[in-house]
Every structure is written in C-alpha cells, then in structure tokens.
C-alpha cells in the first residue's frame, strides 16, 4: 500500500485518533517500524546523542544527518519520513532554510522539522511555499539549550502564553503538525484543542494527537535511565549485552564456530 501523507494525519485528528511516532536513524529499525505500522518516523537531530555520541544536538551537521535520512527513506515503504534540520542550518532566514530543506528532500525525506515558533514563521512560509511540508517544534527546543539554560519544562504559568502563541504561529505559517516538548499537560491539551493541525507530544501529557519517543529510549537500547517522560518498553541493551557475552565466551572456549558453521 502507499505512503502515509500529511493529509492522513489531519484526517486522523478529525476522527479523534491518536498515533505513534518514533525516531529512526538506520535501515533495520526503519524497516521494523515501517512493517509494524508506525505512521511517522523522524530522523531526529537526536542522532547527535543517539548515533554520533555528541553531548548535545548543537554539534550535529547536515552532512552527518543526510545519509541517515537516505537510509531510512530507502528502508521504508509506508511511513512518512521526517528529517530534522540541524542547528545552524536554517536560523539565518528563509533562504538558508530553503537551501537546507531542499537537500534533505532530495535525500529522500517527505517533510522536514525545525525548532521555534513565532521566530520561525518566515522559514515555515518559505518552505511550504516551495512545496515542502513542515513539522514545527515548540516548547522546550533542545537546539536552544544553552540560551534556555538546560532542560526545562515549558508552559508553566509564566510561559504558557508564549508556548500557545508559538503553536498558533507555526500553524498559521503553514506547518502540517507541531511537536510539543516538555509542555505542561493542560497547556498541551489547550493547544491540541485550539489547532486544526495535529500536535505530537514528548513530555507533554496524554492529550496530544500524537506521541513521539526516541527509539533507543523506548526500546531500552540506551543503558541507564532517561528523562521522566520516557517509558522503556524493552531491554534491548540487555539482550545485546547477553548475546555478545555468550559469543565471546564461546569463542574463548572453542565452542563457536561449530561443525554446522564451517565449510569442508
Ligand atoms: O530529534 C528528536 O529526536 C526530536 C524528537 C524527540 C521530537 O526532535
Ligand atoms: Na530534534
């Protein structure tokens, strides 16, 4: 069957259906998530932390993300693939944003995502004007971590109005959906009710249209505990550690390879 389109997500909202989104950065996870029916995959700039081992997303470049986008797009047939525009690749203005977004679309993305609300309205208009669907991202925006002063919940009493204004600004500029990160649940509920485009929550409570998690957090690929909004559905790190330990033991003990793994 054919690809999920942005209009399918709008239709889901109209029917009151919630939907899941995950990050993916490689062939195998992309193929699994596509097969089990995750409608939207994000090749997040969180690849900075989850693929490249950087401390923050500030470090990652388009050159590092583009091949991951291409791999995920090649490995899926149903899911809508969204590419994050990394820090420094779109903030200067609509021209820079369009140049970068075109590179990601040519790599195989079906939409792009960028961080910022009111301050990104011109970029969102330029991209949608050029035929590129935009997923916005407001509330806590990790690329601005140093300005914000760390990971902080957005939309507490003093900031609620600003987050609501940001969400309305991106919808008016033409975004097809908006990620709400670490936004107080009641504020996320209000935004979800007021906007006609889908909201996708991460640490934003149960009332958003979609929910997104980083796949390594969701599947327990990362060792140690993550932020409070993460739920760990498996212990993939433990499974891999046990497999590698057994392999190592069998090599050291002369058990692997056995007759059936050998040619003679
Ligand atoms: O890069 C990322 O993984 C994200 C999601 C968590 C929304 O932006
Ligand atoms: Na991101």
* pLDDT value at 37 more than 70: yes
Q: Are residues 130 and 261 in the same domain?
A: no
Confidence of residue 157 (pLDDT cuts 50, 70, 90): confident
Q: Could you tell me if 180 and 52 lie in one domain?
A: yes
State whether 15 and 47 are in the same domain.
yes
Report yes or no on 1 lying in a domain.
no
187 and 242 in a single domain? The answer is no
137 and 264 share a domain?
no
pLDDT confidence bin for 1, thresholds 50/70/90: low
How many helices (H) does the chain have, and how many strands (E)? 11, 8
Looking up tokens 């969102």 gives: 124
Local confidence band at 226 (pLDDT 50, 70, 90 cut-offs):
confident
The ipTM of this complex is 0.99
Cα separation of 2 and 23, whole Å? 21
Tell me how far the alpha carbon of residue 84 lies from the centroid of ligand 2, in angstroms.
Answer: 6
The verdict on whether residue 64 carries a ligand-binding annotation is: no
Is residue 201 a contact partner of residue 180, using CB atoms and an 8 Å limit?
yes
Cβ atoms of 154 and 140 within 8 Å: the answer is: yes
Cα separation values, 187 from 11, 14, 32, 208, Å:
23, 20, 34, 10
Instruction: Give the residues surrounding ligand 1 with Cβ less than 6 Å away.
Output: 23, 42, 44-46, 84, 137, 179, 202, 212, 214
| 84 and 202 within one domain | yes
Number of domains the chain contains:
2
Are 217 and 240 in the same domain?
no
Give catalytic residue positions. 181
Residue 180 lies in a domain: yes
Task: Give me the domain span that covers residue 184.
Answer: 6-233
Cβ–Cβ < 8 Å for 99, 127? no
Residue 181 lies in a domain: yes
Q: Are 93 and 113 members of one domain? A: yes
- Predicted confidence (pLDDT) at residue 16 exceeds the cutoff of 80: yes
Distance CA 63, CA 48 (A): 12
Helices (H), the chain: 6-14, 27-36, 47-50, 62-74, 94-106, 121-129, 145-148, 160-173, 185-194, 215-219, 236-252
pLDDT at 215 over 70: yes
Atom of ligand 1 nearest to the CA of 179: 7
Do 9 and 176 form a contact (C-beta atoms < 8 A)?
yes
* C-alpha torsion angle, residues 28, 34, 35, 39 (rounded to 10): 160
Q: Give yes or no: residues 130 and 60 share one domain.
A: yes
Nearest CA to ligand 1 atom 4: 44
Q: Residue 211 has what DSSP assignment?
A: E
Based on the fold, state whether residues 212 and 239 are members of the same structural domain. no
What share of residues in the chain are helix, strand, coil (percent, to 5)? 45, 15, 40
User: Same domain, yes or no, for 256 and 225?
Assistant: no
Per-residue pLDDT reduced to its tens digit, 19-32: 999 999 999 999 99
Which residue in this structure is represented by tokens 């004007």? 129
79, 197: one domain: yes
pLDDT value at 155 more than 70? no
Q: Phi/psi at 111 (nearest 5 deg)?
A: -165, 165
């Amino acid at each position: 069957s054919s690809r999920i389109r942005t209009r399918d997500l709008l239709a889901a909202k109209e029917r009151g259906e919630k939907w899941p989104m995950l990050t993916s950065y490689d062939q195998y996870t992309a193929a699994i998530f596509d097969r089990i029916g995750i409608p939207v995959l994000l090749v997040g700039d969180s690849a900075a932390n989850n693929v490249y081992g950087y401390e923050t997303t500030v470090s990652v470049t388009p050159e590092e993300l583009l091949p991951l986008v291409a791999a995920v797009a090649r490995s899926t047939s149903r899911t809508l693939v969204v590419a994050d525009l990394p820090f420094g690749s779109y903030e200067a203005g609509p021209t820079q944003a369009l140049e970068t977004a075109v590179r990601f679309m040519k790599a195989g993305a079906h939409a792009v995502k960028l961080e910022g609300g009111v301050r990104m309205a011109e970029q969102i208009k330029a991209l949608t004007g050029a035929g590129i669907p935009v997923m916005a991202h407001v509330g806590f925006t990790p690329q601005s971590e140093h300005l914000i002063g760390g990971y902080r919940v957005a939309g507490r009493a003093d900031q609620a109005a600003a987050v609501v204004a940001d969400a309305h600004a991106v919808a008016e500029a033409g975004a097809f959906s908006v990620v709400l990160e670490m936004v107080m649940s009641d504020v996320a509920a209000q935004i979800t009710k007021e906007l006609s485009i889908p909201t996708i929550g991460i640490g934003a409570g149960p009332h958003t249209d979609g929910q997104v998690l980083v796949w390594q957090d969701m599947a327990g690929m990362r060792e140690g505990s993550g932020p409070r909004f993460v739920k760990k559905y498996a212990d993939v790190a433990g499974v891999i550690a046990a497999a590698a330990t057994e392999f190592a033991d069998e090599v050291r003990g002369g058990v692997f390879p056995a007759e059936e793994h050998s040619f003679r």
